[in-house]
Amino acid sequence: MISRRLFLAGAGALAAAPAMARDDPTVVTTLGPLRGMREGGLEVFRGIRYGLAGRFQAPRPAPRSRDVVAATGFGPSAPQRGDRYKPTGEDCLFLNVWTPEARPGGRRPVMVYFHGGAYSTGSVADPLNDGRFLANNGDVVVVTVNHRLNAFGYLYLARLDPRFPDSGNAGQLDLVLALSWIRDNIAAFGGDPSRILVFGQSGGGAKIATLMGMPAAKGLFHRAITMSGQQVTASGPLNATARAKAYLEGLKVSSADELLALPAERLVEGLAATDPILSGSVYMGPVLDMKWLTRHPFWPDPDPQSNAIPMILGNTRDETRAFIDPDSEKVKTLDWSNLAERIAPELRVDIHPEWVVGQYRRRFPDWTPERVFYAATTAGRSWPGQVIEAEARAAAGAPTWVYQVDFQSPTQPRRGAPHTIDIALAFGTLDAEGSYTGTGAEARALSASMMKAFAAFARRGDPNAGGVPDWPRYRLPRRTTMVWDITSAAVSDPRRWERELFERVPYIQPGT
C-alpha cells in the first residue's frame, strides 16, 4: 500500500518548483501559491493536487504549502489496465486549469470535465481532453479532473470489512472533493464559482448522473452535460458485495488486509476476474451504499435534488461502431442467418433477437445485416439510458436539452458517427490522436458551433447563442432534439420508431 508519506511528498507534477520565469502566472489558493505557464494566449496550470487518499478510504483535502509550487505538468493517471495513460499511480488526485486570465474578478463560466472509461479506465492526459481551444473560443475556464478508478475507486468492501464504509463510492467522493476545491479556488483563476458546469463523455457522463443523486454534491455545480453517458441505476449493495468477493477470489486473497498489502499492479491484475452478475470482466461503479448514495440516480424518477439544474443529454448515431470493430470477424461474416444470434449478447434489454431483426428488416428493407447490427445494438445498448433520463426530466418539467451526433467520420467512414466522436467536437481537438472527425472545413464548422452551444450553456444555462441553430428544450410529446451534422437542425423525435421499439421491454442497466 502506498504510504501517507509518499502521498504528502507528491508523486506527480507538484514537486519543488523550478526557477520562476518573470511572466509565469501565479495564483494563491487554499493549497498555497501555485505557478503555471503561459501557452497560446492562455494561462495553464497542470497537475494541481486537490486531495490525498489512503487505499479504499474517502479522500481528504491536500495540505497547504508555504512555498510556490509548480503546476506545470500532468499528475499521474489512476492505475488501470493497459499502457495508454502511463505514468499511473494511486496518488492521482490532480486537476488541471486552462484560463484566459488567472486573476480574481474575471467571473468567467467554469467548465469541469470528467473523462470517460466506464469507471475503470481513462485520463485527462488524453489529448482529446485538452482544454485550450474550448477556453480560448468560449472565453471560459476549463478544468479537467483525474480521480480513482476501478478497484481503487469503486470496490465495495463495506459489507465485508466495516473499516471501509466509503470504498464503493470513493471515486465519486474524489469528484466531490475536486468540485469543492474548484468552488473555493476557481475565482483566483478568473472563474465564477456560481457558474460551474460539469460535463463528461461516456463514463464521465455517468459519473455526473450519479453526482446528481448524491447529497454530498448538492450545490457544487449549476449545469450538467452528459455525452453518451448515463447512469439510471447504481450497483446494488448485494451485487456489489458479490463482485468484491469474485475480485478477492480472482486475486486469491481472503481479506481486505491482504488487499492492503498488495502492490497496485496486482490490484489491476485482479480486474480480469469474471463478473458474477454480468458476462465479462468484473464491473465496478457507484454503489447504492445508503451512506453516500441513498437512491438510484434516475429510478424510479430523476432525483428531485437536481431537477432545477439545467441539463444537456447527448448520444451519437452509431455508438457501437466505436467498440465493435467493423473489420472484426463478428461483423465481416454477418449474414441474415446469424445476425440475431450476434445481436443478442450486445443488447442491454431482454428482448427476442429474431423478432428485433424481423422488425428492422420490415422497416428498412434495403439495409444490410451490418447496418441492422449497428443500429439495433446502438438503440438497445447505448441509447436507452439517455432516453429514460431525458423522458423522466421532461415529465418532471426539468430544464433539459437533447442532442444526437449524426456527423459521419470522414477519416474512418465505416465507423459512421461513433461513440466518442463528440469529444473532439466539444473540445475543438479535431487533430488529436483518437479523433474521428478529421480537420476539414465541415468538422471545423460543426465543432465551432458545438463549442459555442456548450459555452453558452455554461454561461447562461441555455445552449442557444449566436452561431448555433435554434435549440428548443426537450419536452413531451415533441421530444425536440438537436441533430449535429454538416447542416445541424433541431428535429422532433428523430428516432421515434427505434425508441418505441425498445421501450417495449425494461432496460437492463449494467452494474445493477
DSSP string for residues in 417-467: S-TTHHHHHHHT-TTSTT-SS-SSHHHHHHHHHHHHHHHHHHHHS----TT
pLDDT of residue 22: 65
C-alpha cell at 197: 458546469
Burial of 138 (0-12, 13-18, 19+ CB in 10 A): buried
pLDDT above 80: residue 44: yes
- Examine the pLDDT at 245 and tell me if it is beyond 90: yes
Q: Rounded to the nearest 10 degrees, what angle do helices 369-377 and 353-363 cross at?
A: 120
Instruction: Domain ranges for the chain, please list them.
Output: 4-227, 310-502
Can you say whether the dihedral through the CA atoms of 478, 481, 485, 489 is positive or negative? Answer: positive
Identify the pLDDT of residue 506: 83
| DSSP 8-state secondary structure symbol assigned to residue 235 | B
User: How far apart are alpha carbons 59 and 46 in whole angstroms?
Assistant: 20
47-102, pLDDT tens digit by residue? 999 999 999 999 999 999 999 999 999 999 999 999 899 999 999 999 999 999 99
Given the candidates 1.10.460.10, 3.40.50.1820, 3.30.70.3040, 1.20.1250.20, the CATH classification of the domain at 310-502 is: 3.40.50.1820
pLDDT digits (tens, 9 = 90+) for 179-237: 999 999 999 999 999 999 999 999 999 999 999 999 999 999 999 999 999 999 999 99
Task: Please identify which of the residues 202, 228, 409, 447 carries the catalytic annotation.
Answer: 202
Q: Kindly report whether the global pTM for this prediction surpasses the value 0.85.
A: yes
d(CA 508, CA 512): 8
For the cut 60, the answer to whether the pLDDT of residue 120 exceeds it is: yes
For residue 11, pLDDT over 70 is answered with no
Q: How confident is residue 353, by pLDDT bands cut at 50, 70 and 90?
A: very high
CB 458 within 8 A of CB 110: yes
The band of 507, judged by pLDDT with boundaries at 50, 70 and 90, is confident
Are domains 4-227 and 310-502 of this chain identical in fold? yes
113 φ/ψ sector (left φ>0, alpha ψ -120 to 50, else beta): beta
Instruction: Please name the residues in contact with 136: beta carbons below 8 A apart, sequence gap of 6 or more.
Output: 40, 41, 42, 100
Q: In the chain, what is the straight-line distance between the N-terminal and C-terminal CA atoms, in Å?
A: 30
Strands of the sheet containing 400-405, edge to edge, are 37-39, 42-49, 94-99, 141-145, 108-114, 191-201, 223-227, 311-316, 400-405, 480-484, 489-492
pLDDT above 90: residue 12: no
Mean pLDDT, rounded, for 314-323:
97
Residues 356 and 380: their CA atoms lie apart, in Å, by: 10
Q: Specify whether 492 is catalytic.
A: no
Residue 222 exposure: Cα atoms within 13 Å on the Cβ side: 16
Q: Is 193 exposed, middle or buried (0-12, 13-18, 19+ CB in 10 A)?
A: middle
Grid cell digits, residue 120: 475503470
Task: Read off φ and ψ for residue 99, nearest 5 degrees.
Answer: -140, 145
CA angle 205, 207, 208 (to 5 degrees): 65
Q: Which of 461, 183, 418 is nearest to 323 (CA)?
A: 418
Question: Residue 19: its pLDDT value, please?
Answer: 52
Q: Which amino acid is at 460?
A: R
Residue-level pLDDT at 3? 33
Residue 350 has pLDDT above 90, yes or no: no
Cell of 248: 478477492
**CATH number of this structure's domain 4-227:** 3.40.50.1820
